[in-house]
Structure formats: C-alpha cells, structure tokens
Amino acid sequence: MSKIRVYELAKMLGLSNKELMRILEDLGVDVKTHMSSIDAETAQIIEESLGETKASSKSSEAKEESRRTINVPSGASVSDVAKALGVKPAEAVKALLEAGKMVPAGAVVGPEIMDILSKVFNVKIVLADSAEEEQEKDKLEFLQKKKPEGKNLQPRAPIITVMGHVDHGKTSLLDYMRKTKVTEREAGGITQHIGASTLEYNGRKIVFLDTPGHEAFTSMRARGAQVTDIVILVVAADDGVMPQTVEALNHAKASGVPIVVAVNKIDKPEARPDRVRQQLSEHGLIPEEWGGDTIFVDISAKTGVGVDQLLEMVLLVADMNELKADPTVPPCGVIIEAKLDRGKGPVATVIVQEGTLRVGNILVSETSWGKVRAMIDDRGRTLKEAGPSTAVEILGFNDVPSPGETFKVVSAEKEARALVDRVKQEEKAASAKAERHITLEELYDKMSEGETPALRLVLKCDVQGSLEALKGSLKKLQTEEVEIDFIHEGVGRISESDVMLASASDAIIIGFNVRPDAKAKKLAEAEGIQIRLYNVIYDLIDDVKSALEGMLAPTLREQTLGQAEIRAVFKVPKIGKVAGCYVLEGVIRRNAKIRIVRDGIVIWNGSLDTLKRFKDDVREVAAGYECGMSFTNFQDFNEGDIVEAYEVVEEKRTLE
C-alpha cells in the first residue's frame, strides 16, 4: 500500500503540521513527527472528512464578502446608524435589547454595539474616521510588507539568516557552503560581498543573508521589514548554549520565523550534542526526535559532515511554509545594506521579494528614490533583471537609504519625489511626538480602560542567581488581568541589542545592579524605551506589583550628573587609596551620590569623601578636567572603573 508523509498531506489539505498531527491522534493513528509516513487509506478518510468543513467555511466567507459596507461618522448614535441602515431607530434598539444590551436610541455606538448591529442586519459598519485612516494607509502602502498576492504565484528561494554565539561557527558554515555550493563558478569570476550569498543545492537556490547579526535582524523587524524566512541557529556541541545563543534565540522567536538548529563542531572529542538539545529544550526548542517540532542537525562546518542534511532540512521547512511570490506583479522588496561609494554614489543592496526588478525601473523607498542604472549580483555579474528572492546591489539612488526600508517601483519620477517628500514630512511630525512605548506607570491605566496588556520585560542582572530569583518572584505576580512575558533575560550590562529588542517588542527594560552603556542609553531615549534600574530586589518587585495594582507613584527619579574614569590609583599615607580620575561627561559634584561601575556591573554605592583639583578641595569638576577622589569607607577600586555621580529628584506623576 502506498504511503505519504504527514507534512506532504498537511500541505495538500492546507493544514498546519500540528493541526494534522492532532487529527491523526484523535483517529488513533500512531505518528511521531511530521516526517512520519501514513497509508493512503487513512489520508483519504481525513481528506473526505475535511471536505464538508471546507465547503461550509467557503460559503460563510462568500457571505462575508457579499455584505454591504456602511460608513458612519465617529460619535454616531444608535439612531444615526439605524438611519444609515434604512431601518427605524426602534428596530435597532429592539435588536440590541434581544442581544442583552439595554441601549437608548441616542447612545453613542461603540465596537460592541456596532458588532451586534452588523450581525443582525448583515452589513459591515465602519467608522468614517477608520475609512479615512485606511485610505491614508493605502497611499503609503509601500512602507509595509504585505502577504504575497498575484495570479501567477510560483515557489521562490528561501531567505536564511544564520545566528548564534560568537565563535560557534556561523562564518565557518557560510564559508564552507560558499566554497562547495555557490550557484555558478566562472573562470576568473569575482565574488564580491553584497550582504547576501546565493547558493544552489539539488538544483534549488537558497539565499543566505550575511549582514544581519541579531541586532540588525531585530532592527529590520522593528521597522516592519520581515526579510528572513528561516533562521539557522548555530550552537557549538562542545560549548553548548551560551548567553548570545539565548539572545539570538529570543530575537528569532520574537519574529515568529521557523528555527532550524545546527549543532556544530561534532568532530571535536568533547562534543556533546545531546546536552545542546537538553539546554535548548529548556528554552522551548524541543527536538523532533523528542516529540517536538524543531529540526536539529548535527554538523561540522570544518569537515562538511551534516551540511548536506542541513540544507535538505532548510528546503523541507521552506516547502512546508510554501514560500511563493508572483514575478509578474509590480516589484517590491527590502534594503539590507546601503553605503556611499566615492565613485558610484549611493549604493544599496536589496532583496527583491515580489515581482521582477529591471534596469530602468524607478524605485522609491521611505527616504530616497532613484532610477536603477545597474544591478550587480554576489558573483560580480551585471544583471538586467532580478526576480523574487534575488539579492542585488543597485546603483541609481539619489540618497543613501536606511537598511530595513522597504521599496517599490513607481511609474514616474514625479510620483517618487512626492511620496518621499510626504514620508519625510510625516517623519518630521512624528519626531516631534516620538513613538511612545508602554511604561510601568501606564500599565494600570491600560488595564482600567478595558485592555488586557502583557507586561513585556527585558531583564538584565549582575549574576545568574539574582536573575533566577527575580524571574521566579516576578512570575508569581501574574494575574488574570495581566500576564508577564519575559522577552529576554541575561547577565551583564544593558546593551544596544537589549534596547532594540525592547523597541521591537514594546517591552520595558529592568536592570538589577547593572547599568546601560552610553550607546544603549542614547538609543533608549531616541526609541522612547523605559529603563528602570534597581539595586534592591524588593524595590523592583514592589514597583512591578504596585504597577499591576495601579498604585505606582513614581515620586523619585534618578538623574545622572556625570561620569569619570579612574585612570590612576595612588596610595597616600594615613589616608589610603586615592583615585586619579578624568571626567568624561557632565559634572562630578562633591555632595552627589556616587556609584562605581566595573564592566557594566555596579560594584559599590555611596558618597565622596574628598574631591580635589590638584591640592585644593572643590565643589565640582566639569567634563574634560582631571581630579582626585576618595570614597567614604571604600578603597577596592581599580584603574578603568567608571565613577558615576547622580542625584535623586522628586517628580510628580502626571496623567497624559
């Protein structure tokens, strides 16, 4: 009797692997993974049973599409809606009463009332303001990546990002595949770095993005540009899961992209691939052989063992996700790299996602536009056209666009200029009122307005013990009204990567005995991300608990005055150690509170004992000057430590 793979049947029936696995389980069919095979008779039974369900759902969809749409102004009453429907107000009130809503004819309609009236009178009611917003969105649709559409959808090459911890073999893996699986080898051909590599395996193309580390990956996603189809997470079999592995994993999971795990360096004697599987299963990646749905492949990027199997699995995942695009629709895609070349002018590397891009096309992105003068691929060849999932370097932009921007082709230069001008004006207006992310103070307000928000946290601590204790304590604070979602947790300073992840996920960063570095601090201010820093564990837990209960009163706020670096340590008789410092920024004041930071970790909090310029006691020292400091009851400081001066100011809470 003929057999069929579970994932193949799921694809034929338009089901996810998990849905089909559940159906098979209900039927008592013993299957372990979506790679398992079942007999044709079982497949036929499932197909027939699903036929009726699909037919009924199609008829309901047809009814939904046939419903007429009625636009009503914002603030419209039940009576106004009844008039638009062509019925008497009494009929609308009666319909609401039968649905359990005692609402007078003069009451303003809300989403719930609109939904009831829509169902009763079989119409689609849309607020006029919403319709205008939709029209405005349509005008600027090129800013957003839409689902593939078109009458000529064809399979396209998967776009892969390789992520993982430093030195775990990401570059070695790409290098090995480039040497053995490049699309074409030309005599004297030049391979140039354009941020992407096109490889060929079993007659099928695979595109690997070289540029995005997880920071760039998340930066693109935060801009709404979903470029990657599959993430390969590389983990060394000898080292196991490391902090950056977890960070990369959290970035990949937040994007909702399928993950294939490559367990590298299995040729080493100390390799323990099973330990890697165990560690990753604790982070939610359960191997298929253990009953999960994550593909693990043991490889050696050095010798090439398992690389063919890895590529087979990547193509399998691509098939399961049915990656398609229409090469005949208007071209669009994403800019993955951009630079200013002295000889060529603005140069951008783009990935075409839909349609076919041709030389002479007029492109427009969010901040620039241009006419395609030339296209060059990763082999250094000049192309006249580039179809879906093709990475090319483009010459012809009027300005350097930003990575992560989407682009589309328009018919005329005039239209391109007008679109870019409008976007720039909108960005200018938006920068005046920068995007606001949720803060701890606003959490209860959202709950009281009827929303059910999740408090998303990026948690950074000085040591692993504190991290586990804090996470356990915070999890206990979850309620039915709000859940706590840990986007990422780790040990060490708060970095730019943490801020980018918080921005993309609308999260709050909480630091315990750690500090953000200068770049992270500036980025958090620019992105409107709240960073809350604590050195007492109970204060942290109390603040989160109070926020959930709506009692948070942030009357105290810490204000950084300045930073200085300890550049020399002197021993003075009868006094002890004195720090010779250089003030890096701001001002160090004699009466300020002081903390000493080493490698991003706070090692001491206290106050200054003395502050001197040469031999004189001074009240303050500004940036760019040297000074001597001694600290009250603390002498365990070293060269390279950072001295932070800060004060605590009172601030009244304002409701916006």
- What's the pLDDT at 54? 52
- Comparing 127-131, 295-299, 623-627, the range with the smallest average pLDDT is 127-131
Least confident piece of the model among 32-46, 101-115, 234-248, 427-441: 427-441
Q: Which two tokens stand for residue 83?
A: 């008039």
Average pLDDT for residues 416-426, to the nearest whole number? 77
Please tell me the predicted confidence (pLDDT) of residue 432: 45
Kindly tell me if the per-residue pLDDT of 500 is higher than 80.
yes
Q: Which residue has the higher pLDDT, 294 or 141?
A: 294
C-alpha–C-alpha distance, residues 562 and 106, integer Å? 59
What is the DSSP annotation of 137-185?
HHHTGGGSPPPP--SS-EE---EEEEEESTTSSHHHHHHHHHHHHBS--
- Measured CA to CA, the distance from residue 13 to residue 196 in angstroms comes to 34
650, pLDDT greater than 80: no
Model confidence, pTM: 0.52
Provide the pLDDT for residue 429: 56
Predicted local confidence at residue 88, as pLDDT: 81
| Mean local confidence (pLDDT), 242-252 | 81
CATH ID of 558-650, from 2.20.25.90, 3.40.50.300, 3.20.20.70, 2.40.30.10: 2.40.30.10
Q: Where in the chain is the domain with CATH 3.40.50.10050?
A: 440-554
Average pLDDT (60-77) is 63
- Give start-end residues of each CATH 2.40.30.10 domain in the chain: 332-427, 558-650
The per-residue pLDDT for 209 is 80
pLDDT at 550: 60
Phi/psi at 541 (5° precision): -65, -40
Contact of 635 with 606, CB cutoff 8 Å: no
CATH 1.10.10.2480 placement within the chain: 3-58
pLDDT over 70 (residue 398): yes
Q: Are 611 and 621 in contact (CB under 8 A)?
A: yes
157-322 is a CATH 3.40.50.300 domain? yes
Check residue 85 and give its pLDDT: 82
Work out the average pLDDT over 513-541. Answer: 87
Q: What distance in Å separates the CA atoms of residue 218 and residue 525, rounded to the nearest whole number?
A: 18
Average pLDDT of span 402-429: 79
For the stretch 82-128, pLDDT in tens is 888 888 877 887 788 777 777 777 777 777 888 888 888 888 877 65
The pair phi, psi for residue 301, each rounded to 5°, is -65, -20
Average pLDDT value for residue range 169-180:
80
Pairing of strands 390-397, 616-617: unpaired
Q: How many whole angstroms separate alpha carbon 458 and alpha carbon 506?
A: 10
Listed in sequence order, the residues at least 6 apart from 539 whose beta carbon sits closer than 8 Å to its beta carbon are none
Instruction: Decide if pLDDT at 410 tops 50.
Output: yes
Binning pLDDT at 50, 70 and 90, where does residue 188 land? very low
Instruction: Give me the pLDDT at residue 132, please.
Output: 44
Separation CA 487–CA 254 (nearest Å): 8
Q: How confident is the model at residue 581, as a pLDDT?
A: 95
More confident residue, 318 or 180: 318
Residue 556 is predicted with a pLDDT of 67
Q: Please tell me the predicted confidence (pLDDT) of residue 34.
A: 63
Start-end of H helices in 357-487:
413-432, 443-448, 464-475
558 to 56, 458, 585: CA distances (angstroms): 61, 20, 17
Band (pLDDT 50/70/90 cuts) for residue 592 is very high
534 against 254, higher pLDDT: 534
Instruction: List the CATH code of the domain at 3-58.
Output: 1.10.10.2480
Contact 204, 226 (CB under 8 A): no
CB 63 within 8 A of CB 118: no
Q: Is the pLDDT of residue 228 over 90?
A: no
Q: Report the pLDDT value the prediction gives residue 371, as an integer from 0 to 100.
A: 92
Question: Rounded mean pLDDT of the chain?
Answer: 79
In this structure, are strands 385-386 and 390-397 parallel, antiparallel, or unpaired? unpaired
Residue that the structure tokens 């102004």 belong to:
73
Enter the CATH code of domain 440-554: 3.40.50.10050
Q: Which fold has domain 332-427?
A: Elongation Factor Tu (Ef-tu); domain 3 (2.40.30)
With the C-alpha atoms ordered 278, 282, 288, 292, is the resulting torsion angle positive or negative?
positive
| Top mean-pLDDT range of 26-35, 45-54, 352-361, 569-578 | 352-361
Write down the residue that tokens 């009611």 correspond to.
125
**100-108 LR contacts (CB < 8 Å, sep 24+):** 103/78, 104/78, 105/77, 105/78, 105/79, 106/77, 106/78, 106/79, 107/77, 107/78, 108/75, 108/76, 108/77
Neighbouring C-beta atoms of residue 646, cutoff 10 Å: 18
